[in-house]
Structure 1
């Protein structure tokens, strides 16, 4: 378990490399960029755009302030929070599956 957290921390520490790249990261397109790259906007993405908003749009965290350094800190914190949230959800889901599989099926002769 500990090695997974170390791996996540190392990957999160590498996230500032993404801020060195020019343009938009692959898969982080808005609908206008998606139309330009792919040639159309999938219906599900178009529908979700009306109700889905990012928790930290453009990785910005207003409480950190404005500028380059707060922007890079926000980028790093977004990676840590996002990775941690995904890890927590997958772990919870795994525990639910294990609990379901370990319970005897009703009506079985065990």
Structure 2
């Protein structure tokens, strides 16, 4: 029984490790896609009088800390965008909503 218990515990530990690595890889890819998509949106904005995006939306700040962006837990995907009070002018990229697959609220 000693070896069987050890083997089962080892197998469970390896399975858990696989799950954690797989989950974190997916999260990284998805949040990177969200970041790229929002940076593309930022590039399409021609006027933003309050300069909130210029100073806050950058690769040096976590996307979940960007002004107007809300991320969900535990997946850390963008679930809401609140840009309504920023007085932005520009175009929304046609594929933005395809890439922000976790987005639930946009205003």
Task: Report the TM-score when normalising by structure 2.
Answer: 0.37
Hey, which of these two has a bigger chunk of strand by percent?
A: 2
- As a proportion of its length, which structure holds more helix? 1
